[in-house]
Amino acid sequence: MNGVERLIETTNTPPKPSENGRAVEGFAVQLMGDAPSRWMFFPALEPAFIFGRAGRMGHWVGGWDVRKAVHVMDWDNDLDRDVSTLYVDPSTSYRDHSREQEVMQAFVDGVSPASSHWIQP
């Protein structure tokens, strides 16, 4: 699952992390096909959409989706270490081809050669 140890599909709000934990709202991209399903998390829709759209062009990828998600990194007492959990809302989908050009342009507008991060324009 690419750095995510637990994947929980739920329409409920994820539990708040402990005071030392961290929760980030954003979007999860699922790539599906001949290889096992993969999930990647992004804090913004635009890079998530671009990743999913480009990933779908891969040889072994037969489908993709973008869903609202929360990534939580928090301490697990049983494991005695931090655990990465991705909460994905299965009732959401942002794979909207009618807005594809608009989302792609917003992504391009937020790309800078001075940074490896996407910056909201």
pLDDT of residue 34: 83
What pLDDT, in 10s, does the model give residues 81-121? 999 999 999 999 998 888 899 999 999 999 999 999 999 88
In angstroms, the CA 77 to CA 9 distance is: 22
Q: How far apart are CA 42 and CA 62, in angstroms?
A: 21
The predicted structure's pLDDT at residue 1: 46
For residue 85, the Cα-to-chain-centroid distance in whole angstroms is 12
Q: Which two tokens stand for residue 51?
A: 């990743």
DSSP string over 37-51? PEEEEESSHHHHHHH
**pLDDT 10s digits, 42-62:** 999 999 999 999 999 988 899
Tell me if 115 is assigned to some domain: no
Angle at which helices 45-56 and 100-109 pack, to 10 degrees? Answer: 120
Task: Tally the domains of the chain.
Answer: 1
Query: What's the pTM?
Result: 0.88
d(CA 59, CA 61): 6
pLDDT band, very low/low/confident/very high, at 2 (cuts 50, 70, 90)? low
**Which helix (H) or strand (E) covers residue 100, if one does?**
helix 100-109
Q: Residue 71 pLDDT > 80, yes or no?
A: yes
Residue 120 located in a structural domain: no
pLDDT digits (tens, 9 = 90+) for 15-27: 889 888 999 999 9
Q: Is residue 98 part of a domain?
A: yes
Tell me the HSE value of 66 on the side-chain side, using a 13 A CA sphere. 23
Domain that holds residue 43: 6-12+20-109
Residue 32 lies in a domain: yes
